[in-house]
C-alpha cells in the first residue's frame, strides 16, 4: 500500500504543478492584455498649435475702416502690439508637428495676422504673413546667433603660448 500512496502523491504533485503553471500563464496573459489596453488609450497627437488660432470667419470680420474696438471684439487680445512707428496689432500662431513623441518638432505653419491702424484708431491696412514670407523664428530659445569665428581649444592654447614668448 505504501507504493500506491507514493504514486498517487506524485500524480497529485504533477497535477498541482500543471495547475500552477496554467495559473501563472493566465495571470501573465491578463497582465499583458491589461497593459496593452491601458497603453492603447494613450493616443499621441503630434500636432501642436501655439498662439492665436486664426479661422477664416474671424479674419473676414476685420475690414479696412473698422474701429479698434470692433477688431478687439472679433479677434480678441493681440499676441503683441507695435512699440515704434505707428500702431499695429499682431496675432501670432505657430503649428508644429512631430511624428513620434521622442522626435524634434518641425514647424509646418507660422502665421502673423497684422492689423495696422491709422488716425482715429481705424484699420488702415491688414496683412496676413505666413512662413513663406520670412524666416522661421524660434520662440523658445530666445537666442540670437552672432557672426564671427568661434574659438577652439587648440586656438586658445596657441594664443596663450604666444603671449608668454
What does the domain layout of the chain look like in residue ranges?
1-43, 47-133
pLDDT greater than 70 at residue 8: no
- Distance between CA atoms of 5 and 47, rounded to whole angstroms? 70
Topology of domain 47-133 in CATH is Beta-lactamase Inhibitory Protein; Chain:B, domain 1 (3.30.1450)
Alpha carbon dihedral 19, 21, 23, 25, in 10-degree steps, equals -150
Report pLDDT digits (tens) over 29-73. 887 777 766 655 556 678 888 888 888 888 888 999 999 999 999
pLDDT greater than 70 at residue 5: no
By three-state DSSP, how is residue 127 classified? strand
Report pLDDT digits (tens) over 107-141. 888 888 999 999 889 999 998 888 877 765 555 55
* Report field, pTM of the whole predicted structure over 0.75: no
Core vs surface per residue 64-73: b (16+ CB within 10 A) or e: eebeeeebee
In the DSSP assignment, the letter for residue 104 is P
Neighbours of 140 (CB within 10 A): 7
Amino acid at each position: 500500500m505504501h507504493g500506491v500512496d507514493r504514486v498517487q502523491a506524485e500524480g497529485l504533485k504533477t497535477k498541482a504543478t500543471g495547475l500552477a503553471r496554467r495559473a501563472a500563464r493566465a495571470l501573465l496573459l491578463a497582465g499583458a492584455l491589461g497593459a496593452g489596453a491601458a497603453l492603447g488609450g494613450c493616443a499621441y497627437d503630434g500636432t501642436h498649435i501655439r498662439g492665436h488660432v486664426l479661422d477664416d470667419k474671424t479674419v473676414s470680420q476685420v475690414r479696412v475702416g473698422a474701429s479698434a474696438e470692433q477688431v478687439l471684439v472679433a479677434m480678441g487680445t493681440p499676441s503683441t502690439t507695435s512699440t515704434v512707428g505707428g500702431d499695429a496689432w499682431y496675432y501670432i500662431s505657430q503649428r508644429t508637428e512631430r511624428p513620434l513623441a521622442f522626435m524634434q518638432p518641425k514647424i509646418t505653419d507660422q502665421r502673423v495676422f497684422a492689423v495696422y491702424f491709422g488716425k482715429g484708431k481705424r484699420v488702415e491696412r491688414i496683412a496676413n504673413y505666413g512662413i513663406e514670407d520670412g524666416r522661421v523664428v524660434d520662440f523658445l530659445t530666445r537666442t540670437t546667433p552672432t557672426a564671427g569665428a568661434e574659438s577652439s581649444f587648440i586656438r586658445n592654447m596657441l594664443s596663450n603660448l604666444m603671449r608668454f614668448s
